[in-house]
Amino acid sequence: MRIEAAIACVGYDDLLQLTLGAAVRAVDRVTVVTAPWDERTPAVAGQLGANLLVTDAWRVRGTFNKARALNEWMDSIAGAGEDTWLMALDADVLLPEDHALPRTGLDPESLYGAQRRMCAGQMEWKEYQESKRDLNSFPLERLPMFGGRLWGTVQARNEAGLLGYLQLWNPAHAKGWPRFREAPTASNYDVMFGLSFPENARRFLPGYEVLHLGPTRVNWAGRRSERWNQGYEVTAG
């Protein structure tokens, strides 16, 4: 099983420097997908051993378009073998190095996500880096389900694989769409892609959790949250 990962990153170079090294070591190849106006991200990608894809697809007629940028990445690796899996990963998500990414026993027709624990701020991250706390000490995110609807609006009884912070699938065998559908915000394209898989073909990676750095639900149309590395030096992961 080979894993090709894409990390979409425009304006997240501060968090990318903390997460990219672990991603490079966890999968077979990482491509950082960024925009021409982001001058910092290419340097981080080069320093930490990732490939780089620079595209202006992030904005189409003034609208944020993360899906089109990721589709360009998929086009760039078209023709990969049937044993190649694709992973879309956010720049603010850490793949913990003390837990190996599962590679065996996965269903190639399914879409996989990962449970995520939430690291709200820099002081908590520093404690984690200094081994003063472990992954299990961070709160586990639980998505709200009301009457068989995610957030009370999305018709789904199974929350697995619906959010784009980590989505893993095998394009040669997957039951879902072959590409992401373009959407006006990053909160739409990933859910639509996930819902293209049957409920029983969306799963969480068994025994595997990731760590999300910083706030959620504020950056759907581009970076809005406060940059890290303020007040003290944070070492690269």
Q: What is the largest CA-CA distance in the chain?
A: 48
Q: How far apart are CA 160 and CA 201, in angstroms?
A: 9
- Per-residue pLDDT, averaged over 110-130, amounts to 95
pLDDT in tens, 4-36: 999 999 999 999 999 999 999 999 999 999 999
Average confidence score pLDDT of the chain = 90
Of residues 180 and 150, the one with the higher pLDDT is 180
Domains for the chain: give ranges and CATH numbers.
2-213 (3.90.550.10)
On the question of pLDDT at 37 being above 90, the answer is yes
pLDDT of residue 187: 67
Of residues 120 and 220, the one with the higher pLDDT is 120
CA angle 220, 215, 162 (to 5 degrees): 55
On the question of pLDDT at 225 being above 90, the answer is no
Whether the Cβ atoms of residue 3 and residue 80 lie closer than 8 Å to each other: no
Q: How far apart are CA 117 and CA 38, in angstroms?
A: 28
State both tokens at 151. 């957030």
Q: How far apart are CA 186 and CA 62, in angstroms?
A: 15
pLDDT of residue 235: 44
**Nearby residues of 88 by Cβ (< 8 Å), 6 or more positions away:** 5, 6, 8, 70, 164, 166, 167, 190
pTM of the model: 0.92
pLDDT of residue 236: 42
The DSSP letter of residue 137 is G
Q: How far apart are CA 175 and CA 169, in angstroms?
A: 9
Whether the Cβ atoms of residue 31 and residue 51 lie closer than 8 Å to each other: yes
Percent of the chain predicted with pLDDT > 70:
91
- Per-residue pLDDT, averaged over 88-97, amounts to 96
pLDDT of residue 234: 40
Q: How far apart are CA 86 and CA 157, in angstroms?
A: 25
Compute CA 15 distance to the chain's CA centroid, rounded to the nearest angstrom: 13
Number of other residues whose CB lies within 10 A of the CB of residue 173: 13
